[in-house]
A and B are shown apart, each in its own frame.
Chain A
Amino acid sequence: MSRDLEDSGQLQGLLGAVALGDSAAFRKLYDATSAKLFGFALRILRKNELAEEALQDAFVSIWHAASSYQLHLSAPLTWMAAIVRNKALDIHRRQPKGEVELALQDYDPVESLQDTAAGPQALAELSRDALALAGCMERLAGRQRQAIGMAYLHDMSHTEVAAQLSLPLGTVKTWIRRGLDRLRDCLSNREAA
Chain B
Amino acid sequence: MNPRNNAVLREKLAAEYVLGTLRGAARRRFETWLRDDAALRAIVANWQGRLGTISELGRPVSPPARVWTGIERRLQLAPSAPWWQFWRLDAARPWAWLSFAAGGVALALGVMLAGREGTALPQQVAALADAQSRTALVVTADARRGRLDVRVARDVQVPDDRTLQLWAIDTKGKPRSLGILANNRSAELTLDQRAIGPDVMLLAISLEPKGGSPDPNGPTGPVLYKGSWARL
20 additional A-B pairs beyond A43-B58, A132-B53, beta carbons within 8 Å, are A12-B222, A14-B131, A17-B131, A19-B221, A20-B224, A27-B68, A35-B61, A38-B62, A39-B59, A52-B64, A71-B220, A78-B55, A82-B52, A84-B55, A89-B20, A113-B57, A118-B59, A126-B57, A130-B56, A133-B56
- Which residues from chain B contact A90 at a C-beta distance below 8 Å? none
Query: Does B50 count as interface, using CB distance less than 8 angstroms?
Result: yes
Complex-state Cα separation, A17 to B206, whole angstroms? 11
- B-facing residues in A91-136 (Cβ within 8 Å): 109-110, 112-113, 116, 118, 122, 126-127, 129-130, 132-134
Task: Report the 9 A-B pairs with minimum CB-CB distance, sorted nearest first.
Answer: A13-B131, A16-B222, A81-B55, A35-B60, A130-B56, A38-B63, A16-B224, A78-B52, A39-B61
- A-facing residues in B121-167 (Cβ within 8 Å): 130-132, 156-159, 161-162
Complex-state Cα separation, A92 to B50, whole angstroms? 23
What are 16 A-to-B residue pairs whose CB atoms are below 8 Å?
A: A10-B131, A16-B224, A19-B221, A23-B77, A25-B130, A27-B68, A35-B60, A36-B55, A66-B222, A72-B219, A74-B52, A116-B59, A134-B57, A151-B19, A157-B23, A177-B12
Q: Mark A39-54, 1 if CB is under 8 A from B, else 0.
A: 1101100000001100
Tell whether, in the assembled complex, residue A25 and residue B132 are in contact, meaning their CB atoms are under 8 Å apart: yes
Tell whether, in the assembled complex, residue B223 and residue A12 are in contact, meaning their CB atoms are under 8 Å apart: yes
Interface size on A, residues (CB 8 A): 79
Tell whether, in the assembled complex, residue A112 and residue B57 are in contact, meaning their CB atoms are under 8 Å apart: yes
Tell whether, in the assembled complex, residue B55 and residue A60 are in contact, meaning their CB atoms are under 8 Å apart: no
Tell whether, in the assembled complex, residue A126 and residue B56 are in contact, meaning their CB atoms are under 8 Å apart: yes
The size bracket of the interface on B is 35 or more
- Smallest beta-carbon distance B13→chain A, Å: 11
Query: Does A140 count as interface, using CB distance less than 8 angstroms?
Result: no
The residue of chain A having its C-beta at the shortest distance from the C-beta of B20 within the complex is: A151
- B-facing residues in A70-86 (Cβ within 8 Å): 70-75, 77-78, 81-82, 84-85
- Which residues from chain B contact A118 at a C-beta distance below 8 Å? 59
Q: Mark B59-80, 1 if CB is under 8 A from A, else 0.
A: 1111110111011001101101
- Which residues from chain B contact A184 at a C-beta distance below 8 Å? 11, 15, 50
The residue of chain A having its C-beta at the shortest distance from the C-beta of B51 within the complex is: A152
Tell whether, in the assembled complex, residue A26 and residue B52 are in contact, meaning their CB atoms are under 8 Å apart: no
Interface of A toward B, CB cutoff 8 Å:
10, 12-17, 19-21, 23-28, 30, 34-40, 42-43, 51-52, 55-56, 59-60, 63, 66-67, 69-75, 77-78, 81-82, 84-85, 89, 109-110, 112-113, 116, 118, 122, 126-127, 129-130, 132-134, 137, 148-149, 151-153, 155, 157-158, 161, 176-177, 180, 183-184, 187
Tell whether, in the assembled complex, residue A36 and residue B220 are in contact, meaning their CB atoms are under 8 Å apart: no
Complex-state Cα separation, A189 to B77, whole angstroms? 46
Q: Mark B167-207, 1 if CB is under 8 A from A, else 0.
A: 00000000000000000000000000000000000000011
- Which residues from chain A contact B77 at a C-beta distance below 8 Å? 23, 26
Complex-state Cα separation, A84 to B132, whole angstroms? 26
